[in-house]
Amino acid sequence: MTNSFSFEQQVIDRSRQLPVVVDFWAPWCGPCRMLGPTLEKLAEEQAGRWELVKVNTEDHPEIAQQYRIMSIPNVKLFRDGEVAGEFVGAQPQRMIEKWLDDLIPSQEAEDLTMLLKEEKAWPDRELAVRLEAFLEERSDVPLARLALARHRI
């Protein structure tokens, strides 16, 4: 990261297309050095779901001040140009995975949400047919099963 303008491009603008996780850290921070590799590993494993940007608070104090970074490591998730969630301190990988899952809906959840927005009436037979097709591909989405049961009545 070279300046505040690139933060605007790499985080704010990019988060309008894909969630961006920002790791605020410093080289002297022991917990930061423990957390960094975990975030990098998850970013690689979940490529395409979200992106990781690392901000060295020593090099970019103005960005740290703008986002009220009082303690590091501090991790913020940006969606649609806004902070959607954050945590402070080194966390175990499974806690970070849960945090990400809570903040970034799966593709299945987004697809189901779009499908349910098309609901016209109750029961909606056309929607029931589309939900059946959805469940043929993704049988492990309980909310889809509930919606289908509602529209089969």
CB contact at 8 A, 22 and 53: yes
What confidence tens digit (pLDDT) does each residue in 54-71 have?
999 999 999 999 999 999
Model pTM?
0.72
Q: Give me 89's structure tokens.
A: 């301190």
Contact call for residues 148 and 138 (beta carbons, < 8 A): no
Q: Show the domains of the chain with their CATH numbers.
A: 4-103 (3.40.30.10), 107-152 (no CATH)
pLDDT tens-digit map of 90-146: 999 999 999 999 899 776 767 677 767 766 666 677 777 777 787 777 677 677 777
Active site residues: 29, 32
Q: Which helix (H) or strand (E) holds 24?
A: strand 20-25
The H or E element that residue 14 is part of is none
Which stretches of 28-124 are DSSP H helices?
30-45, 61-66, 93-103, 107-116
pLDDT tens-place string over residues 2-45:
455 599 999 999 999 999 999 999 999 999 999 999 999 999 99
